[in-house]
Structure 1
């Protein structure tokens, strides 16, 4: 319980990906990591493994019935939201996103002049938050209100840690984190509902998600259930903001630990972007940046566990599993199995140099899940994260002031570092004068 992420991975890798039964008092879930078993649970037999049970209950109080849920609520949301997260639609939003990110990062000039380091977690979360808010709500939300939303989601994500690690604790009892979770969930509703009402009354054809979502719901159902739209937006916001921000936090320590990777990435950014404003068109011209992000997602996947509950008796890897059992897919473990990843603990972007021709198990890399429940926001992630990194590295020379060995801890369903990181930003004079 003191170090669940690392210990689960050790159990899974020591077993070479075989099914592991965990004994946690009265709670005895199955740890799943082998790509064959991942394929069975998330793809070939996915209807027998549902997003229900003790691991989902803490989140359901916030996410409601939408894309992160099950049943009709999930199916309806998936059908409506999928067209809004294609590569083409994401590209149509990218120009506005690029402007928002560039403006936000330019504010680091003040830190550079004062010689003050930036708080990595706070700044990465804030930048991603503003970009996602732009995509979701357009200009309907003030910067002050936007700044309120991110910490409330962060509180919800981190305050369910006790319930995730002790899922058998009854909800009739208040446990650590409950009060903070409910307070933040209420504040999120107080921000989101008025924005939906505003968009509903305006009824414009804007590209941002809330307008497109209302239009799609009206076309499909003839009405827009505000609670359903609220659930849709909360699900999208949580998936798009939390995961990207967490990945960007890990990145700066990784680049410090691998100066050769940092130097090559800096060279690519300097060559492609130069002294120009970073545009979405630049992203496609930076293949090494894509490789850096892919390897980052392998070593530090956003989801540390992907819980499912069995509907009917089944068998996984020769192990009989009874109906109602909990299975925990561990991407963090899958990405460290030596059978599929030579030197798995080594951060090496070159693994992805021949991605299209590499003969690797299709389900050995699952940072966004797979199958019918695959994350819709993966295109958005690569564009958004690339724009943030390219903007920061083209404008500044970045030095980590407190390098350290980071310890992964569960922040609800996502993986985050336990320690704080700080970056000192120095103007990148070469690009300023290019």
Structure 2
């Protein structure tokens, strides 16, 4: 049996409303609060993982008093929730409420989302990416060289800080052009990092608490959002003035595209709509890449065999050159490592839903208004879908391997699937190939670093790395 063996990707959708066995739907298995509430407050990720393991993939309802979410982890159930009957499972509650304070309403509640999505697709689809891949590669190379010059050899540096600078320079050059300075880009990156780590854990654990009631981290969150507004709104307003005055802007950056975009009735986005679009693209474009690549150094320290094979491929394919679009098809193992990295450290670890109307999934009653926890992190650890799920095995993603299409949720699935999956792969391949061809990054300290759930899957303590320049570079 291959590492991907499990449910076939053509598995039929599960039984739905009115088709439960015997004509009668059953209540879901209930998991009482007393069995895991203390663990949930201390380490929600580990507590949910224990519930998922004990349920064996069965749909379970967590009894937390006023908050009673369903936990759904199996791919065939997720196909129904995320695709087959997606309108009944809305993007509301849990992380969507606190996230909306940073990037605006979630797509399911945002009437302007179709306009923004079309703009993002025009920037992030394969053919568009091909036009700027080499420019992005050159920007990444300059950022890595700058990192090498700024950090003395052997000096530990926070991996997330270092990678944020590299990623932001790539995104700034491609998505914003000259509309934002490097200094403001660094400030924006720091503010977004604070906003996505400060109060999210408290808000997600206590989703029923109104936003007007202060929780730990709220003050830092509000300061960070104000900084984001102070940086982004002037860019939007200046671009609008130029647009309204008829000044031609030849660029295809996200601000210009959002300004020019129209909905089906010909209406344009207002300043807040453009601001939210820019910030949501920055959050999506940086969080996954920075967080995933920070975990990479932990994995390579724990798996020297993977590190050696990865380094050998980069040395063979790239050598002393600057990575370009032409190198990407031959960086096959690099791509497999990145895919497995997102399986094991699912950056977007949770994609919650709220049930709009009563329903039945595989004979289980789904009650209207109830929240639902869908977690790629948990689905990626279902043992009969992913054998030996705690083993880092890039070969799971070797060409020709197959799995249920909803077994791998690194970028979500269904109509709300992230449009940036190709962009992430290209950007991450370029960053890894550039860093490992010009430097020798190495984890500083023990690889025993546990993940912690917030908006994304962050390390519980900082991941520090050191650099040693490659001779002759």
- State whether TM-score is above 0.5: yes
Residues 112 and 263 in structure 2, CA contact (< 8 A), matched pair in contact too: no
Cα 1:220–1:114 change in 2 (3 A) is farther
Map 1:142-291 onto structure 2 (within 5 A). 142-159=181-198, 160-200=200-240, 201=242, 202-217=247-262, 221=266, 223-291=268-336
Q: Is the 8 A contact 2:57 2:72 kept in 1?
A: yes
CA distance in 2, matches of 1:143, 1:220: 37
Q: Could you tell me which residue of structure 1 aligns to residue 3 of structure 2? A: none
2:13 aligns with none
Question: 2:470: which partner in 1?
Answer: 428
Deviations 1:230-263 (A, max 9, x none): 1111111111111111101100010111111111
**Larger deviation, residues 242-251 vs 72-81:** 72-81
* Structure 1 match to 2:117: 78
Q: Secondary structure at the match of 1:375?
A: coil
Q: Whole-Å Cα distance in 2 between the matches of residues 73 and 17 of structure 1?
A: 36
For 2:45 and 2:269, the matched residues in 1 are separated by 40
1:377 corresponding residue in structure 2:
420
Runs of 4+ in 1 over 4 A off after TM superposition: 111-114
Secondary structure (helix, strand or coil) at the match of 2:300 reads: helix
Distance (whole Å) between structure 1 residues aligned to residue 197 and residue 62 of structure 2: 23
Comparing 403-412 and 218-227, the one that deviates more: 218-227
**Comparing 238-247 and 200-209, the one that deviates more:** 200-209
CA distance in 2, matches of 1:392, 1:102: 8
The answer to whether 1:115 aligns with 2:154 is: yes
Using the TM superposition, name which of 265-274 and 357-366 deviates more: 357-366
RMSD: 1.9
1:377 Cα deviation from its structure 2 partner: 0.8
* Shift, 1:73, TM fit: 2.5
Asked whether the 8 Å contact 1:403–1:421 carries over to 2, the reply is: no
Aligned counterpart for 1:359 among listed residues 376, 381, 402:
402
TM-superposition CA deviations, 1:5-55 (whole Å, max 9, x none): 122122112222111211223211111110011111110000001112344
CA deviation map 1:370-407 (0-9, x unaligned): 11100011111011111111111000122222123111
Bigger shift: residues 20-29 or 68-77: 68-77
SS, match of residue 63 in structure 2: coil
How far is the alpha carbon of 1:92 from its aligned partner?
1.7
Task: Check whether the contact 2:261–2:268 (CA below 8 A) recurs between aligned residues.
Answer: no
Matched, 1:105 2:147: no
Which stretch of the first structure deviates more once superposed, 69-78 or 377-386? 69-78
Shift, 1:69, TM fit: 4.4
- TM-score w.r.t. structure 1 length? 0.94
Structure 1 unaligned segments of length 5 or more: list them.
none
Q: Distance in 1 between matches of 2:262 and 2:277?
A: 11
Say whether 1:127 aligns with 2:166.
Answer: yes
Instruction: Name the structure 2 match of 1:25.
Output: 65
Are 2:144 and 1:90 aligned? no
Q: Is 2:134 the partner of 1:61? A: no
Q: Which moved more, 1:267-276 or 1:398-407?
A: 398-407
CA contact (8 A) 1:65 1:73 kept: no
Partner residue of 1:8? Answer: 48
Return the offset for 1:80. 3.6
1:317, distance to aligned residue in structure 2 (A): 2.9
Q: 1:299 to 1:147 in 2, by over 3 A?
A: same
> Displacement of 1:84 after TM fit?
2.3
Partner secondary structure for residue 221 of structure 1: coil
Give the greater-gyration-radius structure (CA): 2
Structure 1 115/405 Cα, relative in aligned 2: closer, same or farther at 3 Å? closer
Flag the 1:109–1:359 CA change in 2: closer, same or farther, 3 A.
closer
CA distance, structure 2, for counterparts of residue 208 and residue 399 of structure 1: 35
The answer (yes or no) to whether the contact 2:301–2:447 under 8 Å persists in 1 is no
Q: Distance in 2 between matches of 1:331 and 1:53?
A: 17
Could you tell me whether the CA contact under 8 Å between 1:80 and 1:217 is conserved in 2? no
Conservation of the 8 A alpha-carbon contact between 1:398 and 1:425: yes
Out of 296-305 and 23-32, give the one that drifted further.
23-32
> Which stretch of structure 1 is more off in the superposition, 238-247 or 5-14?
5-14
- Asked if the contact 2:119/2:257 (under 8 Å) is kept, the reply is no
**What SS is found at the alignment partner of 1:384?**
helix
**Distance in structure 2 (CA, Å) of the matches to 1:295 and 1:145:** 34
Bigger CA drift: 418-427 or 342-351?
418-427
Count of aligned pairs between the two proteins: 427
